[in-house]
Amino acid sequence: MIREPAGPVVLTGGTSGIGRATVEHLLANGVDVIAIGRDADRCRSVEIELSVRYPERKLDFVVADLSTTGEVRRAAGEIARLLQERWDHSLSGLSGLVNNAAMVSTWRMVTDEGYEKQFAVNHLAGFLLTRELLPLLERGTPGRVVTVSSGSHRHTTINWRDPMFSRGYTALRAYKQSKLANVLFTAEFNRRYAQSTGVRAYAFDPGLVRTDIGCKSSSGIERLVWRLRSRGRGASAPELPAQHLAALALEREMENPDAFYRVLGRAGMADRAGSDPVSGARLWALSEQLCQEPTLVAS
Amino acid sequence: MRRRALITGATGGLGKALAWEFASHGWDLYLTDNARGPLRTLAAGVKHAHAVDVVWRAADLSIQEDRADLLAAVREANLTFGALANVAGYDLEGAFRERDRDGLVSLMRVNMEAGLVLTHALLNMRNSWEPLRVINIASLAAFFPMPYKATYAASKAFVLSSSLALREELRGRATVTVLCPAGMPTTSSAMKGIESQGRMGRWTTWNASDVSRVTYREAMRGRPIVIPGWINRALLMVSQLLPKPLLVSLLARRWGTEAKRERPATLAGGQFRAQGSPPSPAERSA
């Protein structure tokens, strides 16, 4: 079921929750991993722990805060450099990219660029990292791009007039928008690149998982609801989605490969809004505009 | 006719939000703060999102030569301005005797002098067809003498007082609007401070983008004071009915225990720093 991987899988948000568990699953399945994490200490401790447990595999951490486009570009450069240094066969590319890093914030936070942080971290970072790593993904088998979305992409729209929610921000609206953006991005990626590059993108719905994403930077009601929901019946440990996420990043032969939206191990239906080509193209153009390379000079 | 706004303290929470607010109304920007990296990043973001012209220059407004260099650069660039937002400002936590003297002086330079100097200079570089919109950032702390934040609160009182006075004096040439916000959730320590106050913290807190939107709107109308949130306005009104010495002793009790616990506080932007730590570039802009 699992193919022979040609190169490592890149995964963002590798130090906790589903990301960390997925790193472990990939290593256990004989796949090398380059993980990205924000906190150097946490990266180091996970790297040490898992390297001891899987000594025959290569695991590298790149420390980067993916909230700004500059850092995403730097991380992509680091990955290319690591690939050359540590995986020396020159033809080897990346066998997959898992855009997993995401966050929730009660208050409206902005990045150094002034972008609303959930939009920047949950969507733009994955968009830009995918684009930057595409040549490497093309070379590896070719590779997969899996973006962790969520069932919360349903019943919402992209706030085109104010995608950064400078007014009317609520944690949930901004989160849902970012998860819809994940689905739109995935569908649009396939329209643009699946044929020409052979790289396929999937949006992964992990179901309800017991992680801390809703607690890290939120409070009050959101945190309470999040705790209750994620501790309640029906919530799974991160291992369950991690196992399916790892498989999705690697699997070559799968039932119905055109179904880009996957709920755990099965093909699912994305919301209609998520596969709308007009919105997909529009989001792509907006994201490209926001991710332009800076061409500014100081006065 | 294109208009340009000069914003100091641009890479802090409120500065970024104001930069975006102006850009979203089509204004070109001149951004300044004391570190180059964050300025460059912000300038790129605003430019990409709003397709306006953004010029930036790093300057430490507590240093006179830096201020002079900034003004010289602005003059040389031959730009005219429709607005000036004096956002740069900060606080150092801790009791009076624990602070070093240079730090106290620097704080007054940034919080009080910089805004006045820039206002004075930009009046000569304003657009001929409209009054210069000056936005000054005070704080709710401007209304109270505040033990343990004596210098900061007094510097904000200076901003409040001078803004209201200049507003009358400059009528026709400029409008002066002074913003007196409560705490804003712009850093994680600020958010923790808000959370530690429970429901009250959440009720009195506005996102920086909402504060900026209201501030922009009121500045364009030439209004004198902006205090976001009716709860904040009501609390202010009630507190002003109390005799000052009583009020100050109540505040001392509150901020005194607060300072001992070394817990971040949330009355005004920029005062969320742990005791004694030097200001980081991002935090220096309230």
Give the one of B45, B58, B185 whose C-beta lies nearest to A115's C-beta. Answer: B45
Q: Which one of A54, A169, A175, A261 is the catalytic residue?
A: A175
Q: Which residues contact B8 (CB under 8 A, 6 or more apart)?
A: B15, B32, B33, B61, B85, B86, B87, B88, B114, B115, B118, B285
Residue B115: give the domain boundaries: 4-261
pLDDT surpassing 60 at residue B262: no
pLDDT surpassing 80 at residue B119: yes
**pLDDT tens per residue, range A267-292:** 999 999 999 999 999 999 999 999 99
Give the one of B13, B41, B57 whose C-beta lies nearest to A113's C-beta. Answer: B41
Cβ(A89)–Cβ(A2) below 8 Å: no
d(CA B40, CA B51): 15
Confidence of residue A86 (pLDDT cuts 50, 70, 90): confident
Do residue B46 and residue A114 have CB atoms under 8 angstroms apart? yes
d(CA A262, CA B249): 62
CA A66-A68-A71 angle, to 5 degrees, is: 65
- CB of A169 within 8 Å of a chain B CB? The answer is yes
Q: Please state which architecture CATH assigns to domain A9-290.
A: 3-Layer(aba) Sandwich (3.40)
Question: Cα–Cα distances in Å, from B151 out to A17, A252, B92, B144, B154?
Answer: 45, 66, 9, 11, 5
**pLDDT tens per residue, range A154-204:** 999 999 999 999 999 999 999 999 999 999 999 999 999 999 999 999 999
d(CA B7, CA B22): 10
Q: Which of B135, B147, B117 is nearest to B247 (CA)?
A: B147
- CB of B149 within 8 Å of a chain A CB? The answer is no
A254 vs B46, which has greater pLDDT? B46
Q: In what order do the strands lie in the sheet with A59-63?
A: A59-63, A33-37, A9-12, A96-99, A144-148, A200-205, A261-263, A266-267
Q: Into how many domains does chain B fold?
A: 1
pLDDT surpassing 50 at residue B203: yes
Confidence of residue A293 (pLDDT cuts 50, 70, 90): confident
Tell me phi and psi for residue A102, to 5 degrees.
-160, 160
pLDDT surpassing 60 at residue A251: yes
Give the one of A69, A166, A217 whose C-beta lies nearest to B191's C-beta. Answer: A217
What are the domain boundaries of chain A?
A: 9-290
Give the one of A219, A294, A299 whose C-beta lies nearest to B44's C-beta. Answer: A294
The pLDDT > 70 percentage for chain B reads 89
Confidence of residue B194 (pLDDT cuts 50, 70, 90): confident
pLDDT of residue A215: 60
Task: Quote ipTM for the complex.
Answer: 0.87
> CA of A228 to nearest chain B CA: how many angstroms apart?
19
Summarize the confidence of residues A97-104 as an average pLDDT: 96
Q: What is the DSSP letter of B285?
A: B
Q: Which residue on chain B is closest to A223 by alpha carbon?
A: B195
Q: Which residue on chain B is closest to A111 by alpha carbon?
A: B42
B44 vs B271, which has greater pLDDT? B44
State the average pLDDT for chain A: 89
pLDDT of residue B272: 33
The structure tokens listed for A233 are 């019946």
Please tell me the number of Cα atoms within 13 Å of A291 on its side-chain side: 25
Confidence of residue B92 (pLDDT cuts 50, 70, 90): confident
Residues of chain B contacting residue A159, judged by C-beta atoms under 8 Å apart: none
Do residue A112 and residue B210 have CB atoms under 8 angstroms apart? no
Say if B72 falls within a structural domain: yes
Mutation choice for B interface testing from A73, A293, A299 by most B CBs within 10 A: A299
Our answer to whether residue A175 is catalytic in this structure is yes
d(CA B102, CA B89): 16
**pLDDT tens per residue, range A45-56:** 999 999 999 999
Q: How many CB pairs under 8 A join A and B?
A: 100
Q: Which residue on chain B is closest to A293 by alpha carbon?
A: B44
Give the one of B30, B77, B209 whose C-beta lies nearest to A108's C-beta. Answer: B209
> CA of A298 to nearest chain B CA: how many angstroms apart?
5
Which run of H or E residues covers position B245?
helix B244-261
Summarize the confidence of residues A81-101 as an average pLDDT: 86
Confidence of residue A91 (pLDDT cuts 50, 70, 90): low
Provide the angle, in degrees to the nearest 10, between the axes of the packed helices A125-139 and A171-189: 30
pLDDT surpassing 70 at residue A13: yes
pLDDT surpassing 60 at residue B235: yes
**pLDDT tens per residue, range A192-212:** 999 999 999 999 999 877 766
pLDDT surpassing 50 at residue A131: yes
Summarize the confidence of residues A217-229 as an average pLDDT: 63
**pLDDT tens per residue, range B133-177:** 999 999 999 999 988 889 999 999 999 999 999 999 999 999 999
- CB of B208 within 8 Å of a chain A CB? The answer is yes
d(CA A146, CA A149): 9
The structure tokens listed for A164 are 């950064």
Question: Cα–Cα distances in Å, from B26 out to A266, B20, B22, B58, B131?
Answer: 47, 10, 7, 23, 18
Confidence of residue B276 (pLDDT cuts 50, 70, 90): very low
Please tell me the number of Cα atoms within 13 Å of B116 on its side-chain side: 18
Lowest-pLDDT choice from A212-221, B16-25, B105-114, B219-228: A212-221
Strand partners of residue B226: B179
Confidence of residue B210 (pLDDT cuts 50, 70, 90): very high
Mutation choice for A interface testing from B6, B29, B48 by most A CBs within 10 A: B48
CATH of the domain at B68: 3.40.50.720
- CB of A161 within 8 Å of a chain B CB? The answer is no
Question: Cα–Cα distances in Å, from B247 out to A95, B42, B144, B233?
Answer: 66, 41, 8, 17
* C-alpha B173, offset from chain centre: 22
Confidence of residue B274 (pLDDT cuts 50, 70, 90): very low
pLDDT of residue B261: 54
> CA of A99 to nearest chain B CA: how many angstroms apart?
22
Q: Which of B82, B20, B67 is nearest to B48 (CA)?
A: B20
pLDDT of residue B254: 75
Total-model pTM? 0.88
pLDDT of residue B222: 97
> CA of A103 to nearest chain B CA: how many angstroms apart?
14
pLDDT surpassing 50 at residue B275: no
